[in-house]
Structure 1
């Protein structure tokens, strides 16, 4: 059987490894535009900040490894066309210009995503950079060395981490976003307020609730970012305004969301039985909202890619959906979230209630007992848990992994309140913080009824 894999970052790498480990009779060909595979772009800010000395260490596989496993690696090949009716592929060798024609029995679409590039006046100027792959990381490092004023556009995780890294190197940093607060897709306001204070206390200029309208420059290099509220001098701009699925090759040939994200079933099959898909090119089943959504995360990608490998020949192991669980460390703050924020729930048609605990994470008789803020979000009518957030100086982020399981299994506030968690003064209180939050939520509900 001929298997073609289009794109080989996280999902593609995982699919190839699984297929070669469990099947000896597959002829696997990988098409990849770049000259590398498996780059962890979430580590770019760590590289910029000097935590990771060499960007090469952000690769966890290599073309040689996949070739040794039995895959034919066609690197620096750009797939130009896929004909799903005749099951053919047209590609171009970017080194030689040669056109390559190929056929497949099964196609694995793992083309991932690409940064959104706003088509604004001046976008073509030099010193305006993206942040996605290995080559972007190298470019950012090189250009940031000589830039004193750096502007980051887009206040998501990547933008926030870059801002921290640039500030640590003594740069004058401006952080711009159209939302009225940073990290608004992951955290509610009582959490983002803490983070914003941390950034502004360190001299980072937050310019929120404004939209970039254009870029101006001198001698072909950007010198200003112009928004609807002001003009900001800059030597370097990093665009982090989000991602969109790279799925144009199959447009009109399989079912997709309006944004182009491929819809897959529980076994990673698309609406075409001979085409599988995984990773950032796909929509995922979002358990808190009980619907498909676009949530590009490396964790989703490796799970989905592995499941492609397990289900390619026959449906074997079903995908369990995602909660979009993610974590972040900024300065000495440990932050994580899972599921829906309270602000986002109405966009999915959910009526929710929340409860927030602020308390020492372990008994006050211990030498130190840092405070932690934990929030639970749950359906008002059913008390089904749909989201949670945590922030503290001590690392308690694993609590969000626990709550991810709780959300996936549709636990209620009342069930969480009495789950068995251990107690040890070094780590927690007799009532674990998760129990405590759920018990507080139950108490608040009782008070509302009185």
Structure 2
């Protein structure tokens, strides 16, 4: 087989790359290789501001793309080897594909706690299959432990019903991957809200089953938990106990004849906790599981594929995008890389633009999305928007904070340096994201207005429109 463009990976980065290439190069053959029998497609893309977007991620059979785009073919298989001298790749053990341009978008795998090896009571949540397995095991559980402090861990703690939860985090506040201790405190009241467990969840999306031969699937979308009843076996509302600045040291399987719970977890604070299930949500690591005949593919210290400002790797005509790559260029002041669905989509789209430009010998300017960090999500039921250097990243201690909080309603934090806005955390329906984005990008001196920026009695958004 042969194609002008070959993309490896059926996740958000890979599918976005293929769809964008189909737009730029409708007459060129494109092959997408997906290890999963399902692919992830971005739908309902909505621009909130110039750079902030929200979208849904839907799973679909691999033939969806080929039926939508005449020049895209999709192959279900696993990348085994890249031979860059003759520009070929080997899929499974018998499919050889010749490419002109190759983009590696194989994502990342869950980084489970070390005790997870061969332990049936420790689960990682990564793709649709692992969620189904988790929900099945949770249905008979009365007490679970969640290890991790990122987005998936926070969503699970918030959404799990009818099960007591021990939440083990290595930080001194919750959701530290995204927010500061103040916002963590703001979220605390949401941990004890009583959901109506009998309320049915209306799912208007098509549901597909993963092919049983698949060993791993693409990452879950940003709203995966909205379409499942995540319930345990207790009849009472869940009790959440948070273990701060703590990590797991050991997980021991109990004798079922003498213990109510199948596992005993030992923590660094000396506690021993018995539970039915341990959920490891401790981040991801790059999925580098293939050979390359050339030794020139440059990797970061944590095995990410290093790319330049045009998403090119160190090997000619090979690009990379998404969680598998490391952005090794001089970043704009208000942007930094983070393993997020939003950046996977942006990188996939930009990689396609760069490959198309290389084929046409066109000059490519770096996409504007890399000028400012933006991320929008939902945590503990609240809309959350992060902009720029929202936690003072890169600024050391040389910045000041403007802050406003209304309990159970909104939380606003603005980061200023020399009177100019550098970042913002907006939790709740603040409607200030466009104003904050503009103020970060144009670096207007706000010194005369600082006292009024977060005054609820002043319509500051209209003032700076």
- TM-score range, shorter-chain basis? 0.7 to 0.9
1:214 matched to 2:250:
yes
Kept after mapping to 1: 8 A contact 2:8/2:33: yes
Q: What is the distance in 1 between the residues matched to 2:405 and 2:243?
A: 32
Structure 1 residues 154 and 74, CA, compared in 2 at 3 Å: closer, same or farther? same
Question: For residues 387-412 of structure 1, what are the alpha-carbon distances to aligned partners after superposition, in whole Å with 9 as ceiling and x for unaligned?
Answer: 211334xx22x5346534543x2624
Q: What is the distance in 1 between the residues matched to 2:434 and 2:177?
A: 18
Partner of 1:29: helix, strand, or coil? strand
Residue of structure 2 in register with 1:337 after alignment? 386
Partner of 2:114: helix, strand, or coil? coil
**Aligned-pair distance for 1:332?**
4.8
Q: What is the distance in 1 between the residues matched to 2:41 and 2:16?
A: 12
Larger RCO, structures 1/2 (Cα 8 Å, 6+ apart):
2
Q: What is the distance in 1 between the residues matched to 2:330 and 2:447?
A: 21
Residue of structure 1 in register with 2:284 after alignment? 243
Q: What is the distance in 2 between the residues matched to 1:80 and 1:231?
A: 43
- Pick from 13, 24, 32 the counterpart of residue 26 of structure 2: 24
Structure 1 residues 235 and 100, CA, compared in 2 at 3 Å: closer, same or farther? same
Partner of 1:247: helix, strand, or coil? coil
When the two chains are superposed, the root-mean-square deviation of aligned CA atoms in Å is 3.4
Residue of structure 2 in register with 1:233 after alignment? 274
**Aligned-pair distance for 1:203?**
2.8
Partner of 2:350: helix, strand, or coil? helix
- Pick from 302, 312, 316 the counterpart of residue 364 of structure 2: 316
* Mapping of residues 411-426 of structure 1, within 5 Å: 411-414=443-446, 417=449
Q: What is the distance in 2 between the residues matched to 1:270 and 1:401?
A: 34
Structure 1 residues 38 and 231, CA, compared in 2 at 3 Å: closer, same or farther? same
Q: What is the distance in 2 between the residues matched to 1:354 and 1:61?
A: 46
Q: What is the distance in 2 between the residues matched to 1:304 and 1:246?
A: 17
Structure 1 residues 232 and 313, CA, compared in 2 at 3 Å: closer, same or farther? same
Structure 1 residues 253 and 227, CA, compared in 2 at 3 Å: closer, same or farther? farther
Residue of structure 2 in register with 1:387 after alignment? 423
Q: What is the distance in 2 between the residues matched to 1:178 and 1:119?
A: 15
Residue of structure 2 in register with 1:203 after alignment? 239
| Uncovered stretches (5+) of structure 2, i.e. residues with no partner | 43-55, 194-237, 358-362
Residue of structure 1 in register with 2:108 after alignment? 113
Q: What is the distance in 1 between the residues matched to 2:380 and 2:178?
A: 18
Q: What is the distance in 1 between the residues matched to 2:154 and 2:80?
A: 35
Q: What is the distance in 2 between the residues matched to 1:195 and 1:111?
A: 34
Q: What is the distance in 2 between the residues matched to 1:416 and 1:184?
A: 32
1:140 matched to 2:183:
no
Question: For residues 257-312 of structure 1, what are the alpha-carbon distances to aligned partners after superposition, in whole Å with 9 as ceiling and x for unaligned?
Answer: 32233333333223333012211122346956567x54111111112212222221
Q: What is the distance in 1 between the residues matched to 2:371 and 2:330?
A: 5
**Aligned-pair distance for 1:145?**
0.9
Q: What is the distance in 2 between the residues matched to 1:370 and 1:127?
A: 35
Residue of structure 1 in register with 2:74 after alignment? 73
Q: What is the distance in 2 between the residues matched to 1:276 and 1:114?
A: 20
Kept after mapping to 2: 8 A contact 1:325/1:400: no
> Number of paired residues?
386
Partner of 2:346: helix, strand, or coil? helix
**Aligned-pair distance for 1:191?**
1.3
Question: For residues 325-377 of structure 1, what are the alpha-carbon distances to aligned partners after superposition, in whole Å with 9 as ceiling and x for unaligned?
Answer: 334434454433223344x63xx4644312223267xxxxxxxx986332112
1:38 matched to 2:7:
no
Structure 1 residues 208 and 416, CA, compared in 2 at 3 Å: closer, same or farther? farther
In terms of fraction of residues, the more helix-rich structure is: 1
Structure 1 residues 294 and 217, CA, compared in 2 at 3 Å: closer, same or farther? farther
1:399 matched to 2:393:
no
Structure 1 residues 176 and 416, CA, compared in 2 at 3 Å: closer, same or farther? farther
Q: What is the distance in 2 between the residues matched to 1:286 and 1:236?
A: 43
**Aligned-pair distance for 1:141?**
1.6
Mean Cα displacement is larger for which, 127-136 or 369-378? 369-378
Residue of structure 1 in register with 2:410 after alignment? 372
Kept after mapping to 1: 8 A contact 2:334/2:388: no
Kept after mapping to 1: 8 A contact 2:383/2:427: yes
**Aligned-pair distance for 1:36?**
0.7
Residue of structure 1 in register with 2:304 after alignment? 261
Residue of structure 2 in register with 1:193 after alignment? 185
Partner of 1:244: helix, strand, or coil? strand
Partner of 1:191: helix, strand, or coil? helix
| Uncovered stretches (5+) of structure 1, i.e. residues with no partner | 41-56, 93-97, 361-368, 422-427, 437-450
**Aligned-pair distance for 1:207?**
0.7
**Aligned-pair distance for 1:239?**
1.0
